[in-house]
Structure formats: structure tokens, C-alpha cells
Amino acid sequence: MEDHQRKACPLPPPALSPTVPPPTIADVARHCGVSVASVSNALSGTGRVSEKTRERVLEAARKLGYSASPAARALRMQRSWSMGLVIPDIANPMFGQIARGAAEVLEEAGYHLLVASHDARHERQAGQIRNLVQQRADGVILQPFSSLDEEVPMLARAGIPLVLLARRHIEQPSDYVTIDLRGPLLEGLAHLAALGHQRIALTLLGGRPSTTADERFAIYCGFMRDRFDTVDETLIIRMAHTDLESGRAAVPALLAARATAVIAANDILALGIRDGLRASALSVPQDLSLLALEDTFLSPLPGIELTSPSLPKQQIGMAAARLILARIAEPSRAFETIVLPSPLVVRGSTAPPRVGPT
Amino acid sequence: MEDHQRKACPLPPPALSPTVPPPTIADVARHCGVSVASVSNALSGTGRVSEKTRERVLEAARKLGYSASPAARALRMQRSWSMGLVIPDIANPMFGQIARGAAEVLEEAGYHLLVASHDARHERQAGQIRNLVQQRADGVILQPFSSLDEEVPMLARAGIPLVLLARRHIEQPSDYVTIDLRGPLLEGLAHLAALGHQRIALTLLGGRPSTTADERFAIYCGFMRDRFDTVDETLIIRMAHTDLESGRAAVPALLAARATAVIAANDILALGIRDGLRASALSVPQDLSLLALEDTFLSPLPGIELTSPSLPKQQIGMAAARLILARIAEPSRAFETIVLPSPLVVRGSTAPPRVGPT
DNA sequence: TTGTAGGCGTTATCAT
DNA sequence: ATGATAACGCCTACAA
């Protein structure tokens, strides 16, 4: 393939700027003496060409290293073959895995993925979506900031297929992928109750309208009333963010409510709570059982070991991708919702309460 | 092989959305009674247009919600305005942050980022790069699998500007971004030595040709010889992978070598080691000091608290992006290497050895 | 079965 | 300063 002779070559080697442009479809046609139409037909497999010329064309294309110019294709076909994925935080491994799942099925279908992170900032989300519209993305998968973001209807108005993640929009119907909210929460509550906990606290992400928090609240109340005949509102801890610091800040409220267990929205928050407890010389699970509703790869790690449902992150991405492909294929189909299971995994952060039930 | 350059188009011919198509430059021109040329000039700011018409055009464009079709632009200008980023693992937060840094400066310059993860699989890396070539990416930032991957020269042959991350290529010169290998390692060694450690172990990623491991080995030997007049080879632990399990597997060798401290390649590996120690009823830092050479956001976390240099991940991405932009602007410039500092952060995982120096 | 030609929306090169 | 117009590379009626 190459001359292995050439050793160290400290400066720009001869051929860097003066490169030959990629071959065009005309080159291929000329190379095997047929028309461009035949080449196109042969390559796309969608036309009527004789087996003989098809082979000739394929051979020539391979030999020349031809591949169609995406720009020309996009211009002619009026589709960019690119799909947008807008997520809250690209540095969060959870979204990385979602992206991976989505990319896998999209690439299979000939699309490539434009990943954009809005970093929990409204104006960035708007910017990313606007950019995707300008890029003429053929579809967008979005985990929106809140359930009434204005950018969502904007996408619909632009005629761009949309799949929502984790939160549906208040008024814009769309395809939608979520995890089962009820199952894991009830499982977690039952797990804690079975261990003997009665004062089970729940953190709720507020501060931004979200259908998820409301739903969880309702489920929690239902369970508590069912089991203990009462709901103590002091056990509900509302918070705006979901970082370490918010977790630490929640500890005083937890202690004041005499909670013996807490269900945190996700594992980062849970780690924050644990850290806050340590500052009060309390520890998990001896003094407080800790359960996170969304795991990342952190949860099973030594030194962490959080009881939490295992989120099917890759599946979420794949499901979303499949939904968007389905809608592109059939724009008028009914909107679909996919609910993925998220079974509880018990680890070291939950244990019976120090003092038995009163 | 299969080499399907394009997928059969599974869609019916009719337009995929019942929505009005985006306005074209001709619409804008018509709207304010000028030629398309003037519109183009006004919008790109690069032509000669009177202030009056420029304003008229800008106004009309805004009103119509016009933005140039990327496909048409790309076709005409022969550049895709897209940049590839190929990383080992998109679910690793470290690479997420690198991606974020790169995206930031690239978007600033009008490019968008195509993120591809090769998941430590050779054939995937090849596929991703091939795809980027077909996409006509204007440049590629790549953290290669090893220092002699064949795909790297392939990019150069295609005339696509390239920036390498973390590892340079054996024979293909290129722009290159890395962290300072020497500084953090020496700092770490000095830190441990100052605490009283003499038997300091070092893990080295082998199994794949990498300039990094060799360099670290040399630095380590230099320090040990300098300080203790000798290098005990049993303190060098070589391993192929860098996951939790590899860390656990390294523990017997560490104990056999009577190490009182170990410098692990990264924090995941370090966590594995810690887990393995716990199985022997040993703990960090009482029985063994633990230092990781590359941190993620895990390192400072409660329950983890690893002493490690802080990797300037975002900076890495930004530096790479700037390098590639510079090369696009001036293809014949000399290749540049950027070395970023990575200062040590001391946390709870390092302490004086249980028994003083012999 | 194969070839010809028009046009997708831009930018760039010319005239004017 | 402005306006026609020719590519850019591809797909696809339609003609042969």
C-alpha cells in the first residue's frame, strides 16, 4: 500500500495541499462508458439496470473510491440526511449513552447525528434548535428543558419531525419516549417500606414546569396514603437543580423531617445528600437510606453503590431514533409514546432504619 | 467490502412535509426588488453593496426567516462546514467535555461538529473515519486507538486536515494536542515521596502501541533512580485495559511488590484497585495511597476523593478546534503541538505510609 | 435498458 | 453598485 521507507518527516510532506478532488459521478460514468443516470441507478439500486452494467459500475466506483457528494445529494433530494439530538448535558454519561443508542440506529438508516447540548440554559436550547432548523435537519430528538418551551412548536411549524424525551410538551403533541415513572418509584417505595421505613422523603425537581415531577408526586402520595394512611408534606423536598450542591442543601430539611430514607431524583443528587450527611457525622445507610431514581454508571461503583433503578439509556436512544424514522417514512401516522421499563437494583445504600418503626 | 455508499431510499417520492418549504435567496431578492447576487453579497458581507440595499436585504431576510441552504452552500463552496470529532467513548464524561470545548469554538467559526465514538473497537474507528471522509468533513479531530492506525494516513491522503489527541501517529506528522505527561507524573511522584513513600508502583497501559506509556515509563525510571538510586521493575504493573476489572486484577501484583502507593493511569482504574483492596480487607489511604493520572468529574466526588491532576478537558477540545481552524486557513503552515498543563490536586486518597520508611 | 437534460439554491465571475 | 449567468454534483422524469 505505502512505501514504508519514509521515516521521520518533520515538515509538511509534499502532498498535503495539492490534493485531487474526490471523483464525481461523471468520473465513474466515463470510466466504464455508461451514462451518469445508469451509474446513479446502479448505485442506488433503485433503477432498472442490467446486471452486467451494475457490476461494471460497482467495480469502477470501488476502484475510484467514489462516494456521492452529500451536499449535492442533499440539494437535489431536499433532505439533509442529518438528524438533530438536543440533550441537557453532553458531559453527562447518561446522555452519552442515549446518543450512542440513537446514532446506532440512525447510521444504519443512512443518517448522521448532530449532537447538541443545551447545558440547562434556555437560550442555548433555543440557539441549538434554531441552528438545527437552519441546518435543515430531517428530524430532531429533544429532551426539552421544560414542558412549555416555545421552541418545540417552532420545530413543528417548520415541519421538522420531532421526538421528545423524558417530558412531553404541554400543548404540542409529538412522538415521545420516556421511562416508566410509576413502576420504579413504587418498587423503591415498597423496597424501603419492606425494610421498615415509614418516614420516606422524596425529592422533586421543581422550578421549571415539568410533567414528571407532578406525576411522581401523585404516585408517592398514593402509595403513602395507601400504606400509612397519611402523607406528611414535610417529607417532600423541592429543589430547582440537580447537582451535588443541591443535594447537600437538602440535608437540613431531611433531618428536620426526621426522614429515615430518601428517594432522590438521580444519583448525582444522591451523592450530594450523602456528602451533606457526612458533614453532620451521619452516614448511609446506617442513619439514612438513600435511593436514586435514575442511575448512571456511577451507581454500582465501589464507594458509591447506590440502590437505583437501572435506566435503559441506550434503549431510550434507539427507541427515539426508530420513532423519528417511522415518522419520516409516514408523516401522518398517529403519535406514539414508548414507555421503557427501569427495574430497581438494590445496592448498599439502603438498609433497615436504625430504630424500628415507632 | 459491502461498501454501500448510500442506502436505498425507503421513502415515497412525495415531499415529506406538508409544510411550506424554507424561503430561498430568490424569494428574498424578489421581496426587495434586487438581484440574487446582491442578496448574497449583502448577507455574506463580502461584496460591494450600497448601505441602502444592504439594509433592505437584511430586513427582508429577517422578515422572511431566510437562512441559506447548507446543502447548496456546501455544493457551491466545496466545503461542508462540518468538522468530525472521533473519540474513544462518548459515554465517558471526559470526552463529553472535550466535545463541548471543541463545539464551542467551531460553532463560533460557523462549523458544526459531527461527534463519532469508536468505543475502543478498531473496525468502528475505521468506519467512523471512512464515514467522515464520505461526508466530506472539512477537518477531523481524532483521539486514535493506537499510534500506528492505518486510518490516519488515509485521512491525510484524502487531504482532510487532521488534529490528533493524546497520541501522535508513528509516521504521519500532524497537528497535535496533548497534556503535559511529565509535569503531573513528576508532581505525583514528588508528592508521594514527600509523604514518605518509597515503594511507588506505576500502572502502564500496554497491549496497544502507545507513545504515552513509553514516555511515562521513562519519566518514572528517571525519578526513581534519581531519588532512590534504583528502579524495582516489580513495581511496574502493565495492563491491557483500563476498566474496573483491570484495577481489581492488579491488586495481587501490587501486594506482592509491597507497594505503599500506586499511580494509576486514570480514575476508573484507581477505583478498581480500591475495590480489589477492599476484598483483602485493606483500605485507601491507610494501607495504600492511590493517585490517578487522569481525572474525570468523579475524582472529587464524596466517597471517591482521588488525588489526581485536573485534566483541562474543555481546553483540550478548544485547542484542537483552534488548531484545525488554523490549518484550514493556512494549509501549509508548520505542524503545531500544544501541550496543556494538568496540575495535581491532592485529595483524600494519598497519605503517609502506615510504616515509616525502612 | 440506457441516455439526455433540467433544476435543486448558492456563490463567484463577469458584464453592465 | 448591480445584475445575469455559469457552475457545483446529483437525481430523475422523459426520451430514445
Query: Residue A48: is its pLDDT beyond 90?
Result: no
pLDDT the model gives residue A356 = 45
- In the beta sheet, which residues pair with residue B262? B201, B290
pLDDT at B218 over 90: yes
Q: Report chain C positions within 7 A of protein CB atoms.
A: 1-5, 7-13
Q: What are A167's three cell numbers?
A: 417530558
Cell of A166: 423524558
Report yes or no: B96 at the A interface, CB cutoff 8 Å.
Answer: yes
d(CA B215, CA A109): 43
> What pLDDT is attached to residue B208?
62
Model pLDDT, residue A15: 35
Closest residue, chain A, to B65 (C-alpha): A134
What does the pLDDT read at residue A153? 92
Q: Which of B120, B90, B124, B10 is nearest to A102 (CA)?
A: B90
Mean pLDDT of A243-268: 92
How many Cβ contacts (< 8 angstroms) between chains A and B?
A: 192
In the numeric block, which cell numbers belong to residue A88? 441537557
Amino acid in the structure at residue A11: L
Helix A93-108 and helix A313-329: axis angle, to 10°? 40
pLDDT tens readout for residues A212-232? 888 999 999 999 999 999 999
Encode burial over A65-76: b for 16+ CB neighbours within 10 A, e otherwise. Answer: ebbbbbbebbbe
pTM of structure = 0.88
| DSSP one-letter string for A98-137 | HHHHHHHHHHHTT-EEEEEE-TT-HHHHHHHHHHHHHTT-
Confidence of residue A347 (pLDDT cuts 50, 70, 90): very high
Query: Has residue A181 got a pLDDT over 70?
Result: yes
* Helix H or strand E segment including A262: strand A261-264
Q: How confident is the model at residue B207 (pLDDT cuts 50, 70, 90)?
A: low
pLDDT of residue A281 exceeding 50 = yes
Record: contact A69-B16, CB cut-off 8 A? no
Among the ranges given (A128-137, B44-53, B309-318), the one the predictor scored with the smallest mean pLDDT: B44-53
Q: What is the mean pLDDT of residues B65-92?
A: 94
The three-point CA angle B129-B135-B137 to 5° equals 75
* Nearest chain A alpha carbon to B89: A96
Give φ, ψ of A275 to 5 degrees: -65, -40
Q: Is the pLDDT of residue A7 over 60?
A: no
Predicted confidence band of residue A282 (pLDDT cuts 50, 70, 90): very high
Q: Tell me, what's the pLDDT at B160?
A: 95
Please say if the pLDDT value at position B188 is more than 80: yes
Which residues touch B80 (CB under 8 Å, ≥6 apart)? A70, A71, B74, B135, B136, B137, B138
Q: What is the pLDDT of residue B279?
A: 87
Average pLDDT, chain B: 89
The Cα B52–Cα B74 span in angstroms is 29
Q: How far apart are CA B261 and CA B236, in angstroms?
A: 12
- Do strands B337-340 and B112-117 pair parallel, antiparallel, or not at all (unpaired)? unpaired
Q: What per-residue confidence (pLDDT) applies to B205?
A: 79
Instruction: Specify the pLDDT at position A6.
Output: 29
Q: Is residue B195 less than 8 Å (CB to CB) from chain A?
A: no
HSE at residue B245, side-chain half, CA atoms within 13 A, is 2
pLDDT at residue B3 tops 50: no
pLDDT at B311: 94
The number of helix segments (H) and strand segments (E) in chain B equals: 12, 12
pLDDT at position A212: 82
* pLDDT(B313) > 50: yes
Residues of A in contact with B99 (CB under 8 A): 90, 115
Statement: residue A14 has pLDDT above 50: no
pLDDT at A18: 53
- Any A CB within 8 A of B134 CB: yes
Q: A166 pLDDT exceeds 70?
A: yes
Arithmetic mean of pLDDT, B4-17: 39
List for chain A the helix, strand, coil content (%; round to 5). Answer: 40, 15, 45
What is the spatial distance between Cα A146 and Cα A241, in angstroms, rounded to a whole number? 13
Determine the 3-state secondary structure of A354 from DSSP.
coil
Confidence band (pLDDT; 50, 70, 90) for B9?
very low
Nearest to B250 by CA among B216, B280, B212, B285: B280
Could you report the per-residue pLDDT of A130-160, keeping only the tens digit for each?
A: 999 999 999 999 998 888 888 899 999 899 9
The Å distance, CA of A331 to C1' of D16, is: 38
Assign B101 a pLDDT band (cuts: 50, 70, 90). very high
Query: Which H helix or E strand runs over A289?
Result: strand A289-292
How far is CA A92 from each of CA A70, A119, A297, A303, B275, rounded to the nearest angstrom? 31, 10, 10, 19, 24
**What is the pLDDT of chain A when averaged over all its residues?**
89
Q: Does A66 touch chain B (CB under 8 A)?
A: yes
Q: Nearest nucleotide, C1' to the C-alpha of A75? A: C8
Q: Which of A138-152, A191-205, B47-61, B203-217 is predicted least confidently? A: B203-217
Residue A4 has pLDDT above 60, yes or no: no
Pairing of strands B337-340, B162-165: unpaired
Q: Residues B116-145: pLDDT tens digits?
A: 998 878 888 999 999 999 999 999 999 988
User: Average pLDDT, stretch B69-75?
Assistant: 96
